[in-house]
Amino acid sequence: MIQMTDKEFENFCRVMQENYGIDLKKKRVLIEYRMIAEVKKRGMHSFQEFLDAMVKDKSKELQYTMINQLTTNYTYFCREMAHYHYIETDVLPNLDKDLNELRILVAGCSSGQECYTLLMMLEEYRLLHVLPSIAMVGCDINNAVLQEARNATYPIRALKEIPESWQKRYLHMDENNENFTISPKLQAQVSFQFHNVLEPFHTVKYQMIMCRNVMIYFDEAARRQTVRNLCKNLAVHGYLVLGHAEVLMEIPQDMEYCGHSIYRKV
């Protein structure tokens, strides 16, 4: 039987933490279970053989495979609604009146529920107020959930948190009432792409960046690097929205705290 040595476990955790900021030290049982399947699937004979291949693989395909199997993608529509209420009452009314495009980045977007919740809220706001066009980007390091986000189709049980009026305006049920799909109008306003938040983003400046419940798995160094990367891509007077459990211990000099784990670039 293939078994993982302490050294192999330590080396695997080190690679994942250095490259993705993910602390897996408490997930040995899960890691062994997932890796045994991959080792056998690829005709390898030991964990060390897999680790060697993973480190040498310039495409990082093996690393991405393990990320897809080990990262938690727990999410749902209308999660932590206090953030959306703040955006509606304090952020949107104070947007620059000359703004032609509202650019939004959702980092750690998982399977898309957060992006589509925000888009539904923005369209509801647009019914009563003037709002510029929206250009949203959702990014994640799990290719499997990114594809789910692009498909924009979810099981009927995911409806429970979505207001009925939103369901009627923005969702399309299938013939068997087993799944629903996000309206094409909303899908057209968001694109999904692979990106590791520990690496620099492109040069686009966003008026809003959401990165909720992503850094709870990171060590302190990874959290700081992530915040630095996000703030670099935040426009002046732009907002950074973190998860409720992710209050920053050190607030960057060019940021101010607004409450509800929301920060504004000054």
Contact (CB, 8 A) for 114 and 84: no
Domain of residue 42: give its range.
6-70
Q: How many domains does the chain have?
A: 2
Same domain, 131 and 33: no
Same domain, 137 and 30: no
Q: Is residue 72's pLDDT more than 80?
A: no
Same domain, 25 and 152: no
- pLDDT for 159-170, tens place per residue? 999 999 999 999
Section 63-85 average pLDDT: 87
Kindly tell me the burial class for residue 40, based on how many C-beta atoms sit within 10 Å of its own C-beta (0-12, 13-18, 19 or more).
exposed
- The contacts of residue 111 (CB under 8 Å, 6+ apart) are 73, 75, 145, 148, 149, 154
Same domain, 49 and 145: no
Contact (CB, 8 A) for 133 and 165: no
Q: Write down which residue in 45, 70, 95 finishes a domain.
A: 70
Section 249-253 average pLDDT: 89
Helix ranges (DSSP H) in the chain: 6-20, 28-41, 47-56, 61-70, 81-86, 113-126, 143-151, 164-170, 184-187, 220-232
| Structural domain includes residue 108 | yes
Q: Distance (Å, rounded) from C-alpha 248 to C-alpha 257?
A: 9
Same domain, 46 and 86: no
Instruction: Give pLDDT, residue 23.
Output: 87
Query: Confidence class of residue 3 from pLDDT cuts 50, 70 and 90?
Result: confident
Same domain, 40 and 92: no
Instruction: Give pLDDT, residue 68.
Output: 80
Same domain, 227 and 250: yes
Which strand ranges, in their side-by-side order, compose the sheet holding 171-173?
Answer: 153-155, 179-182, 171-173
Q: Is residue 59's pLDDT more than 90?
A: no
C-alpha torsion sign, points 240, 244, 246, 248: positive
| Structural domain includes residue 1 | no
Question: CATH code at 237?
Answer: 3.40.50.150
Q: Is residue 201's pLDDT more than 80?
A: yes
Query: Confidence class of residue 67 from pLDDT cuts 50, 70 and 90?
Result: confident
